[in-house]
Amino acid sequence: MAYTETTTTGYGSRITSSLKGILTGFLLVIAGTILLWWNEGRAVKTAKSIKNAVEQTTPVADLATYNQALNGQMICASGFATTNDFVSDPYFGIGETAIRVERKVEFYQWIEHSQTKTEDKVGGKQETTTTYTYSQGWASSPINSGEFKDPEYQGKNFVVMSNLESADFQAKNVTVGAYILPESMISSISGSEPIAVNLAAEKIADLNKTVAQALQKGDSLQFVTVSQNQVYLGVNPNSPAIGDVKITFTKVMPANVTIWARVVNNTFEHYVDAKHGKGVGGLYMGTCSLDSLQEQAESNNNFMTWLLRIVGFLLVFFGFKGLFGLLIAILKVLPFLANIANVAVSIVCGVVGFAWSLVIIAIAWLFYRPILAIALIAVVVALFIFLSKRSKEAKAPAEQPAETPAQA
């Protein structure tokens, strides 16, 4: 059954909020403008850093033996990332010779969902109705049901073991041939697969006792179920109950990787372009060519550039809308007038915000990409002149007087 909560905001409060919204609007416009400007500089610097990194990179066919001549150089090389470290989960004692052992903990809980609906009333008031519904499901952490809105569901959640949390355990010594990978590159190695779980009898007994105490039942019953790569704490894994805990174990095994980085003795460091200050490269899964890595880096840069342009535009758009918030709030006395005004304001703010964004980007291009910007301006001017001339030529014949036929 759904639980509903209704609140009413008075006309005066809405006017006050809209006044505060004007200041917020100014701040959003400023923030969006700064973001748009900064993003163009970031895109150019990143592109130049990628180009510089590629120019400095030496493709290396084999890292099997240490090569002193590579020290200090930017290289691109593929190899097999492996380790002799035995990595284990210290609490459960589950481990293997692997790059990483991962523990994922989930809790079966009551979960609160909310849906909000607002309605403007004649006279300027606003009625907000929030409907809360509840369902059972797996969550990544215990949920405090004491904060639920519906008193019927408050205090219903608990867990049989609250001190468990998800964690990763990583090898410290991972090599590619004769070279040692730094921790940041080890963290980039991916490709999880299940790890067989085999708990010691003492650990099972300890877990069983803990769960039995939480459930206030005798520890002679079995509350620990081990199946493949999972440990289940509860009465029945086929029928989860509130409080049950599910722990899933995976591992990341040695794999083929490609390294695009600077060599420092017998290890690597992330390349940072000295002139532009942008980092390039890292560890990539599989065997990759330098061309494919360059293409991937440029693609990521383009994606980020357009994403931040959109974010910048939205900040400017909502900023301008905030400046008109007082007008909309005043018209809320008659909701239909406010709705009409809101549509009109949205259109105007959208057009102005788009134009504003283009102007900022254009000015930024003049600063960061002057040659390209000037070339584009020249093309636009030339196109405008060409279209104007064609338009005049098309009008000229129509403006000439028609010839009168000669009299007989």
| Per-residue model confidence as pLDDT tens digits over 167-201 | 999 999 999 999 999 999 999 999 999 999 999 99
Distance (Å, whole) CA 64 – CA 312: 47
- Tokens for 147, please give them: 């904060």
**407 within domain boundaries:** no
Distance (Å, whole) CA 67 – CA 177: 11
> Does 273 or 305 have the greater pLDDT score?
305
Distance (Å, whole) CA 276 – CA 156: 56
- Tokens for 9, please give them: 């905001």
Report how far Cα 245 is from the mean position of its chain's Cα atoms.
Answer: 28
Are 66 and 38 contained in the same domain?
Answer: no
- What value does the mean pLDDT take over residues 223-227? 94
- Give the per-residue pLDDT at 389: 79
Are 119 and 186 contained in the same domain?
Answer: yes
**304 within domain boundaries:** yes
**140 within domain boundaries:** yes
Domain boundaries, position 341: 3-57+299-392
The helix-helix angle for 11-56 and 335-368 (nearest 10°) equals: 20
- Tokens for 10, please give them: 């008075």
Tell me how many domains the chain contains.
2
> Do 165 and 105 touch, CB atoms closer than 8 A?
yes
**94 within domain boundaries:** yes
- Tokens for 58, please give them: 């030496």
Q: What single string gives the DSSP state of each residue in 306-354?
A: HHHHHHHHHHHHHHHHHHTHHHHHHHTTSHHHHHHHHHHHHHHHHHHHH
Are 51 and 96 contained in the same domain?
Answer: no
- What value does the mean pLDDT take over residues 5-29? 89
**405 within domain boundaries:** no
C-alpha radius of gyration, the chain, whole number: 32
> Do 169 and 251 touch, CB atoms closer than 8 A?
no
Per-residue pLDDT of 118-131, as tens digits, reads 988 888 788 999 99
Q: Is the pLDDT reported for residue 395 higher than 80?
A: no
Are 318 and 278 contained in the same domain?
Answer: no
For the ranges 130-144, 288-302, 391-405, the lowest mean pLDDT is seen at: 391-405
> Do 273 and 52 touch, CB atoms closer than 8 A?
yes
**402 within domain boundaries:** no
The two counts, helices (H) then strands (E), for the chain are 7, 19
* Residue where a domain stops, chosen among 259, 288, 317: 288
- Give the per-residue pLDDT at 17: 87
Are 187 and 334 contained in the same domain?
Answer: no
Distance (Å, whole) CA 311 – CA 313: 5
Are 64 and 52 contained in the same domain?
Answer: no
- Tokens for 253, please give them: 């095994």
Are 208 and 307 contained in the same domain?
Answer: no
Are 252 and 313 contained in the same domain?
Answer: no
> Does 302 or 277 have the greater pLDDT score?
302
Distance (Å, whole) CA 177 – CA 63: 5
Element (H, E) at 88: strand 86-89
- Give the per-residue pLDDT at 327: 85
- DSSP code for 235: S
pLDDT band at residue 9, thresholds of 50, 70 and 90? confident
- Tokens for 291, please give them: 């061309």
- DSSP code for 401: P
Are 140 and 223 contained in the same domain?
Answer: yes
- Give the per-residue pLDDT at 32: 96
**80 within domain boundaries:** yes
The four Cα atoms 349, 354, 356, 359 give a dihedral, to 10 degrees, of -170
Are 304 and 279 contained in the same domain?
Answer: no
133, 149, 150, 245, 345 from 111: Cα distances, Å: 8, 12, 12, 15, 39
Closest by CA to 243, choosing from 142, 99, 118, is 142
Q: Is the pLDDT reported for residue 407 higher than 50?
A: no
**404 within domain boundaries:** no
* Residue where a domain stops, chosen among 260, 288, 316: 288
Whats the size of the chain, residue-wise? Answer: 408
Are 196 and 282 contained in the same domain?
Answer: yes
Are 311 and 281 contained in the same domain?
Answer: no
